[in-house]
Amino acid sequence: MVVQTRGAGRPEEAVLDRALIVDTAYQLLRELGVEDLTMARLARELGVKTPSLYNHVASKAALLNDVRGRVVAQIDTSVFDSQPWDRALRHWAQSYVAAFATLHPSSAASIAVLPMEAEPATMRMYDRVSRNLLASGWPAQELLPILVAVESFVVGSVLDIRAPDSYMAPRGDGAEPFYRRVFDARPANRAAVSVDVGLNALIAGLSQRYADLGLHPSASRAVHDEGPAPGAPKSGSRKG
């Protein structure tokens, strides 16, 4: 990718902005691991000199946080405003997997564990999810383990989705006949089925925990009475 240059009478200097740099880095990270994306590589892709990038981004770490925001923008949390917590959590996890699966697996794993406080869109997402789970009656002390469990499931699913199916293949010498039978019987859409199976198990376990604790949405109804969550779409609109 070569960015637009300035018009006649001006120096032949590429026109850069932060959004273009972030979008280009995101496109590269769909196929490259974080370790392979250097600022020099990004500059070559944009057709500029490396120092020019630092007029718009402070560091590679800051750039990766911006890429995380670009990915998080694809995750749908609007369903929490209209569906019960279990359906909403399932939809959020599916959307989370789909968004991070656009990245190279090692990039997805690296970006998912960046400090969240440095990326506002990620913090807003987790705040909105937390707000709605609290409103569903979940005690605050239960929620961080739930959020971490979902994120762990997401990252593991992304690694599986982006890996070649052969990575789970048994040896060809027949030494593991039972696993060979299992592997050969796998469905054609095995990765997608695995996501569904995992989410079914996760949501079933959380639903049982919810019942065991005797929880009910009315337990924290006041959370919804405080007004719309930060970043929530206005009435009549839908967040993508």
Alpha carbon of 74 to those of 23, 25, 28, 122, 186: distances in Å? 13, 16, 17, 11, 30
Checking if the pLDDT of 212 tops 70, the result is yes
Mean pLDDT along residues 102-125:
91
Q: Which CATH number is 75-226 given?
A: 1.10.357.10
**Residue-wise pLDDT tens digits, 156-208:** 999 999 988 788 999 888 899 999 999 999 999 999 999 999 999 999 999 99
For 18-69, give the CATH class. Answer: mainly alpha
Residue 190 and residue 73: Cα distance in Å, rounded?
27
Residue 197 and residue 194: Cα distance in Å, rounded?
5
Of 5-9, 85-89, 121-125, where does mean pLDDT reach its minimum?
5-9
Other C-beta atoms within 10 Å of 69: how many? 19
| Segments of the chain assigned to CATH 1.10.10.60 | 18-69
| Segments of the chain assigned to CATH 1.10.357.10 | 75-226
* DSSP state letters, 48-65: S-HHHHTTT-S-HHHHHH
Residue 52 and residue 39: Cα distance in Å, rounded?
10
Residue 30 and residue 116: Cα distance in Å, rounded?
21
What pLDDT score does 224 carry? 43
Label residues 194-214 b or e (16+ Cβ within 10 Å = b): bbeebbeebbeebeeebeeee
**Residue-wise pLDDT tens digits, 31-55:** 999 999 999 999 999 999 999 999 9
What mean pLDDT, rounded, does the chain reach? Answer: 86
Residue 86 and residue 83: Cα distance in Å, rounded?
8
> Which residue, 98, 99, 32, is CA-closest to 72?
99
If phi over 0 gives left and psi between -120 and 50 gives alpha, with beta otherwise, what is residue 214? Answer: left
* C-alpha count within 13 angstroms, C-beta hemisphere, residue 227: 2
Specify the pTM. 0.81
Q: How confident is the model at residue 150 (pLDDT cuts 50, 70, 90)?
A: very high
